[in-house]
Amino acid sequence: MKKNWVNLFVALLLFIPLRFLQVSIDYSRKLEDLETGLLLLPGQAAGSLVLSGFKGLAADLLWLNVEEYWHSGQHYKMLPLLEAVAWLQPTYVTVWAVGGWHMAYNIYVQVGQDESKISEAFQKQQETWSAGDRAKYEVLVEAVRENKAILQQLDKKGKTDELVKDYLSRLEKYQARIAALEEKEADKKLVETVKTLLEIPRNKIFWYRQGVQFLKKGITYNPDKYDLYFELGWTYYHKGMDYPNAVKYLEKAIKHPHPDYVDDVLAHAYEKNGQIDRAIAQWEYLITRAPSFRSIAERMIHDLKTKGKATP
């Protein structure tokens, strides 16, 4: 029986090294980024999985919901889920990449899909106006015209900070004038229609910026991988036509192990940013790095040297 007490004593004594080991493990988990935050998720199934330590599985269930919403066109419903998945597994770069893409590309398009329908309805209504109405609602006609121009410029000229500032100030000018018209006896439905139209470029800018912010947030969790630098660089390059920022992030992407197409996009970004010499150097580098790019790179170098322009 005396011996038996030794068992208990040794067992209790072993909790001391166990405690030190746990402190050391906690430190390592912090150091190696193995910790995850607690999140109370919507939905019982996902919630209980998190509580039982199956975070990856919970993230997968939410991801399947994201897929479902994506295919059914319910983009807005995807957003809280994307945030939740990103919170559960912040080092899962696909979530950040896909989330940023959905915001800057898909939702961006979705918020403007009714624009032509509303504009057409407005134009039809215009045809029924009397001379008095025409004079009274001149500001609305101008606002719709300006709105259309801004929408076109958003996609053709781009979304650099300066341009966005210009678009917004132009929109604001009309908003003030429409507010003044509202105070008079104006057709409320008509004014609301125009206001809805004016919201479209604002929303587009908002979602483009949201996408960019989401990708930037993803980079803070994954600073040592090329993926999100590339996604952000590409979004600036392709969607925003914001070439200085595109170059900035693509240059960061190539500092980490990356596939050849990243160098390809960077060469295009240099050219669009007006850095022709660097673009040529980048194409030359690509020939040495990836021989499969030789024919296109040589054509690009030739065009840049002779015409100063290669990318269509």
Binding site for other proteins (CB under 8 A): 1, 4-5, 7-8, 10-11, 14-15, 17-19, 21-22, 24-26, 28-29, 32-36, 38, 51-57, 59-60, 63, 67, 88-89, 91-94, 225
Joined together, the tokens standing for residue 154 give 């958003």
Q: Are 171 and 147 in contact (CB under 8 A)?
A: yes
Whose tokens are 């341009």? That residue is 163
Joined together, the tokens standing for residue 14 give 């072993």
Computed on alpha carbons and rounded to an integer, the radius of gyration of the chain in Å comes to 28
Nearer to other proteins, 42 or 56 (CB): 56
Which is nearest to 215 in space by CA: 176, 242, 184, 178? 242
Supply the minimum distance, in Å, between the C-beta of residue 93 and other proteins: 7
Nearer to other proteins, 227 or 242 (CB): 227
Nearer to other proteins, 23 or 109 (CB): 23
Supply the minimum distance, in Å, between the C-beta of residue 182 and other proteins: 49
Nearer to other proteins, 46 or 297 (CB): 46
Joined together, the tokens standing for residue 11 give 């067992």
Supply the minimum distance, in Å, between the C-beta of residue 220 and other proteins: 15
Backbone angle region of 271, left / alpha / beta, with phi > 0 → left and psi within -120 to 50 → alpha = alpha
Nearer to other proteins, 5 or 183 (CB): 5
Supply the minimum distance, in Å, between the C-beta of residue 147 and other proteins: 37
Enumerate residues 6+ apart whose C-beta is below 8 A from 161. 242
Supply the minimum distance, in Å, between the C-beta of residue 86 and other proteins: 11
The sign of the CA dihedral 209, 213, 214, 219 is: positive
- How far CA 206 is from CA of 19, 109, 239, 287, in Å, comes to 50, 12, 13, 39
Q: Are 265 and 250 in contact (CB under 8 A)?
A: yes
Supply the minimum distance, in Å, between the C-beta of residue 230 and other proteins: 15
Nearer to other proteins, 29 or 294 (CB): 29
